[in-house]
Amino acid sequence: MKKTIVWTFVGVLFCVYVGYAFSQTLADIYIQANKPLVSSTELASTPAATPEATETVSHNNITPTPEAIETESPEAVLPALPACESTDVPGIRHIVLDEGARSLHLPETDSLEVNEQVRNIVFTRAAEHTDGLFFASRYSLYRYNDQLVGFAFTFTACDADSSLTETKVLMTYDLLGGRAVAPDELFAPAFDFAAATAAVLDAVHTVDFTSLVFDTAQAVFLSNNEDGTCDEVMVPLSAYGDNWQADAYLLRYYGHEESSPSDEPAAPSGEGKYLAITFDDGPESTHTARLLDGLAEHDAKATFFVLGHRLGKTADLIERMVNEGHSVGSHTYSHVNLTAVAKETIAYQLDETNMLLKNITGQEVLLLRPPYGNRNAQVAEMAAERGMSLILWSVDPQDWKMRDARQTADHIIARAKDGEIILLHDIYASSVDGALLAVKELTAQGYTFVTVDELLDMNGGRVTGGIYRTGKGTVSK
């Protein structure tokens, strides 16, 4: 009898233990199966991009939420995959989002728009394989210069039927403009780059000419195979001769056309030796901060014409500029040619940037530098409606092109006269170095660096809707 009771009691305990263990196993499976790839903390640490209606090229209008990219098979084991090549270059960071059977490696740049597009590509591909055994993304970096970079994405997936697939996507981005760059933008107009590429490659290649990446030596295309796979094929840039025009692309978007303001020095008038040094296309976290340090050492003031799409991560720099006595103006939201877009786009480019700046500084934005110096009656009228004036320049060392600090400084020093407005860009280390060299030497010569506002106030004050080439030049409307 006692033995029966003991064994009955042991049996009950055993059943309770088994039931508990089974319930815990089910709970663990449920939790793992429904665990999102990107945690809310990780997602919060990645800033969302600000929509840009005219310049951003989006590959998918919907960014899949992390909940849509689930680890369906926690037991799956990722195969050995090559690590991404080092991206230890300024402005590019390597992000790893590994969770269960999902391994996403993707680049992060200083451009919120480009980051949004990259996430669209990677997350969309991952969402297409949520029922598979595993999914992985890898990429290689192709860098032409600070503005033009390319990413060659490779996506590897093993679906529920155990079939293994690998797909590739090539994308080239303009980090300053926050946009994807199409292949035909990089070649001379009317040049048949597809025919030229095919002439270099073996006849067996079926090349996709809708996308490419490149560095300073070669262009890379995708060649489609009969089995649905694709390979990367390389073509030396020398094969295109003068028809390869990536530099012309940069000149078109970041240089200055022949119609831009003259670089002839303005004739001095009145007493004093005052200069306005201005910086376009920033802020840039490292270079702009160093520039502000250098200007403070010489008690020099500057005017910064900033891009709206950069303000998400640089509000602290804008606040510092204002607190240290500098002026901040608009260079539009994404560096578009205001004379080549619709009125609605002009309004967006001005209003969005002005709103972002006012939210940071609490001040109205009164100065506009139109990209490339391009303006027409409509641009001037819309600026005037917003209480703004157009600020051009009289000294342009083309620092964006030379990338030489000493040459930049020498150009400025040779043309320094009372009332000049100097054009520079605080997104290049060489420009910052050249600017500080010029400031130091010209200060020693008795010049004082003031803001554009101060320079105009010395000469009758700013006129709403006016267009200024120098602080002492004729105001046109």
Tokens of 138: 């890898």
Name the percent of the chain lying above pLDDT 90. Answer: 45
Q: What is the pTM of this model?
A: 0.54
Tell me the CA distances in angstroms from 15 to 9, 18, 26, 86, 115, one per residue in order: 10, 5, 17, 55, 54
| 313, amino acid identity | K
Residues acting as catalytic residues: 280, 425
Cα separation, 373 vs 280, whole angstroms? 11
Instruction: Give me the domains of the chain, ranges plus CATH numbers.
Output: 40-244 (no CATH), 257-468 (3.20.20.370)
pLDDT digits (tens, 9 = 90+) for 284-316: 889 999 999 999 999 999 999 999 999 998 999
* Alpha carbons 209 and 197: distance in angstroms, whole number: 9
pLDDT at 44: 32
CA distances from 227 to 217, 224, 231 (A): 30, 8, 11
Report the Cα–Cα distance between both ends of the chain, in Å, rounded.
111
Give the model's confidence band at 151: pLDDT under 50 very low, under 70 low, under 90 confident, else very high: very high
Q: Would you call 185 helix, strand, or coil by DSSP?
A: helix
**Residue 147 main-chain phi, psi, to 5 deg:** -95, -45
**Of 134, 238, 228, 221, which Cα lies nearest the Cα of 183?**
221
Q: Is 107 exposed, middle or buried (0-12, 13-18, 19+ CB in 10 A)?
A: buried
**45-76 confidence digits (pLDDT tens):** 333 333 332 222 222 222 333 333 333 333 44
